[in-house]
Amino acid sequence: MDRMEIFINTVKIVVIFLMMIQVVPLLVWVERRGSAFIQHRFGPNRVGPLGLLQLLADAVKFINKEEFVPAASNRVLFYLAPILALLPGMLAVLAIPFSTPFGIPSFEFMGSSYGPYTLQVQGAEIPLGIIYIFGVSSLAAYPVLLAGWASSNKYSLMGGLRASAQTISYELGLGMSVVGVMMLYGTFHLNDMIAAQEGLLAFRFFGNEINLPFLPNWGIFFQPIGFILFFVCIFAESNRLPFDLPEAEAELVAGFHTEYSGFKMLMFYIGEYGHMIVGSALVVIFYFGGYHIPYVSEAGLTSFVSQYFTGEYLVPFLVSFIYLHVFILKLALFLWIFVWVRWSLPRFRYDQLMSLGWKTLLPWSIFNMILTTVFIYAANAA
């Protein structure tokens, strides 16, 4: 661990954080244009091509808004809550592997030489990545709760209490639905999970090898129930529409961020979109093969790239570059599904939400766990 490595890691963490922040205005644009598309409207289309510069106009507006703090509020917590809202998403994104690692050749810089490195396209290669991500994102209940309480507004408080109860309840279903995935791949390591999904569908059944070469070897074919449960739970975790009870504007004005305006409001948005990004990335990693291209193995891609380019370091870099874009493409697809669902489905009632979480998702995820155990036993039984 020399100085250069520390420097590279620091830069990487900052870059990933900035990436997460920069995706948010784009997502806001997609959300507005997408909702307009779904509702047969035009949406923002005046500023710049396709309304893309609307993002800049929005940013200027957010910064110039009046700084408003309710008189009866608790000032410290009122300012602390939006800052905390950034944390869970930011910390969780660090553990997500975006692509394959590639090497950096040794080089001379400022008179001293630095050895060859292997650069992970990932904030930090954290052991037990899943557990880390769940642990960090379970902290997401605090900012909402604090924001609701510190505003000293009844609607805010109710929104905050609803949000935290919802987050705690759905975390159970979320955790239990992933147990099947962990048992299937036999690891907690996100990179190992992606590596296990390379190639074509093949599994063992009572000791016989069964190959289905017309399908990729993705988790969704092994865990269909788990996928549905997980996908429903991440909607609830990120407080998005069918489950956006904390900010149900028909009943609670705007829920926990009623009293927030300008940039503080934007920070809550960034937190929410951070949750969406992490959730979509986890869906891609668990169930849709991570950065792998269906029907193309890593060796195949490497040989394809080396037909046109040569170089010990260039080829892995290009492979990693292609994989990064595949991952981002899959991620974008799921982020679009988030937007699509938001503008298509009506909101649940609060008691319906709770009974869905506790009486439907949790028992089904336990059932999925037992089913997976039986299948794993059947696969390895002679």
User: Measured between alpha carbons, how far is 239 from 191 in angstroms, rounded to an integer?
Assistant: 28
Q: Identify the residue among 43, 101, 175, 294 touching another protein (CB under 8 A).
A: 175
Q: Identify the residue among 82, 97, 160, 290 touching another protein (CB under 8 A).
A: 160
Shortest Cβ distance from residue 139 to another protein (Å)? Answer: 6
Site string for another protein, 15-54 (x = CB under 8 A): ----------------------------------------
* Of the candidates 267, 227, 361, 213, the residue with the CA atom closest to the CA atom of residue 21: 267
Q: Which residues contact 92 (CB under 8 A, 6 or more apart)?
A: 132, 133, 136, 137, 274, 278
Query: Is 187 among the residues that bind another protein (CB under 8 A)?
Result: yes
Helices 3-38 and 54-64 cross at an angle (nearest 10°) of 100
Task: Give yes or no for a contact between 73 and 258, defined as CB atoms under 8 angstroms apart.
Answer: no
Query: Is 299 among the residues that bind another protein (CB under 8 A)?
Result: no
Site string for another protein, 96-135 (x = CB under 8 A): ------------------------------xxx--xx-xx
> Three-class SS of residue 275?
helix
For the record, the structure tokens of 162 come out as 């609803």
Nearer Cβ to another protein, position 252 or 266? Answer: 252
Q: Identify the residue among 32, 189, 240, 275 touching another protein (CB under 8 A).
A: 189
Q: Identify the residue among 44, 78, 90, 171 touching another protein (CB under 8 A).
A: 171
Query: Is 161 among the residues that bind another protein (CB under 8 A)?
Result: yes
Shortest Cβ distance from residue 220 to another protein (Å)? Answer: 24
Count of positions on this chain that bind another protein (CB under 8 A): 32
The count of residues in the chain is 382
**Among positive and negative, which fits the CA dihedral 313, 316, 317, 318?**
positive
Task: Give yes or no for a contact between 151 and 78, defined as CB atoms under 8 angstroms apart.
Answer: yes
Residue 109 has φ and ψ, to the nearest 5°, of -150, 125
Query: Is 1 among the residues that bind another protein (CB under 8 A)?
Result: yes
The residues of the shown chain that bind another protein, judged by CB under 8 A, are: 1, 74, 77, 126-128, 131-132, 134-136, 138-139, 141-142, 145-146, 148-149, 157, 160-161, 164-165, 167-168, 171, 175, 186-189
